[in-house]
Structure 1
Amino acid sequence: MFKKLIFIFLTIMIVSCGKETKPKPSGELRLEYPQPKYVSFSSPCNFTFEYSDFAKIDNAKENCWYYINYPKMKAKVFLTYFPIKNDFALHVKESEKMVYEHTIKATSIDTKSFSYPEKKVFGNFYELKGPSASNLQFFVTDSTRHYVTANLYFNSRPKPDSIGPAVEYIKKDLLHLIDTFQWK
């Protein structure tokens, strides 16, 4: 009898102490970034462009290597200048190699070519979808003397859902950079 009472008591305790589960309302993280105001950058390496004032440009250890830092997004665009010395095809292959090394993780790669003949600015813009280490890459050249390449990296694990808004913001900045790019 005593065992039955303990069993009934424990059963009542287990059943009565449970909370009714309620579904949580769906919500999304809202990341807002300021409207970009563009600032002009002039490199001693024979080129100029405009970049967002939300970022800052730092020199790397090498000449003509720059970091476009987005500190609040924990992102950096690595921008590198190379003079062309009969090695144009090598630079293009190296840029494409950097892009296609990410095919292991990227779900797709969108390539857009651009051409501004009046400014002698030509190149490709690559957008890598999925959990790749670099989401945006491009190269700009005049195809005879100058070559610039750039790669976007985040200082975090590549989670497309989390970094998506930042990638879109930086993508607009980089497209503006390309539109305003000029050789000196």
Structure 2
Amino acid sequence: MKPSIIFMVFLILITISSCNDETILPKPKAMLRLEYERPSAQSIETDYFRFDSNKEAVVNQKSSRSIILEYPEMKATIFMSYRKVDDDIKNLISDAQKLSYEHAAKADGIRPRAYEDDLSKVYGAFFEVRGDAASQAQFYVTDSLNHFVTGSLYFKTRPNYDSIYPAAVYLQQDMGRIMESLRWK
């Protein structure tokens, strides 16, 4: 009988100790949180225009008409190119818009936003691309008479929008700063 009493006491203790309000749930999968420092600006000049860029960007000026801003930490690059307007502003704008919408096949959506700065005579559009497209953002700016600049953001990795989203948003803001600070010479 002693073993049965010990067994009953053991069973009662287990029952009492297991009756609490805590429920054990599996932990959710952890997600990597990417945060970037607030950008500080540096001024970049070419023969045709100047603008403010993020100091984190490595500036590679291929020529007076071509600038590459590389962000090594994010494995991203913003390619900028200048064209002189020669009575072909409609073609230049059409080509820039066409280039942005070529990513529509892979993109979940493209959100265009017009940009106007009458005081500095800078007009253009910014295209935010959502989804697994090759380029996450593009822009063009012009004074409508003499100057035309395009910019495109590319990552040096396979486009997985969920993974590159924080970096894409950060760099889209940099591209916005470029557009807002751009001045013609």
> 1:24 Cα shift?
4.2
Of 54, 57, 63, the residue aligned with 1:55 is: 57
Cα distance between partner residues in 1 of 2:34 and 2:130: 20
Deviation track 1:118-153 (CA, whole Å, cap 9, x = no partner) reads 100000000011101001000000000000000000
Contact 1:67 1:76 in 2 (8 A): yes
Q: Does 1:36 align with 2:39?
A: yes
Q: When the two structures are aligned, how many residues end up with a matched partner?
A: 161
Q: Does 1:133 align with 2:134?
A: yes
- Scaled by the length of structure 2, the TM-score of the pair is 0.84
Deviation track 1:14-46 (CA, whole Å, cap 9, x = no partner) reads xxxxxxxx84433110112121110111111x1
Give the equivalent residue in structure 1 for 2:6. none
Give the equivalent residue in structure 1 for 2:22. none
> 1:59 Cα shift?
1.9
Give the equivalent residue in structure 1 for 2:107. 106
Contact 2:110 2:130 in 1 (8 A): yes
> 1:165 Cα shift?
0.4
Segments of 5+ residues of structure 1 without an aligned counterpart are 1-21
Q: SS at 1:118's partner residue?
A: coil
Tell me which structure has the larger Cα radius of gyration. 2
Cα distance between partner residues in 1 of 2:159 and 2:54: 23
Contact 2:46 2:64 in 1 (8 A): no
> 1:73 Cα shift?
0.6
Query: Identity rate of aligned residues, in percent?
Result: 37
CA RMSD of superposed structures (Å): 1.2
Where do 1:18-33 residues align within 5 Å?
Answer: 23-33=26-36
Contact 1:57 1:66 in 2 (8 A): yes
Cα distance between partner residues in 2 of 1:178 and 1:96: 16
**Which piece of structure 1 moves more, 166-175 or 26-35?**
26-35
- Scaled by the length of structure 1, the TM-score of the pair is 0.84
Q: SS at 1:73's partner residue?
A: coil
Cα distance between partner residues in 1 of 2:133 and 2:29: 27
Give the equivalent residue in structure 1 for 2:66. 65
> 1:63 Cα shift?
4.2
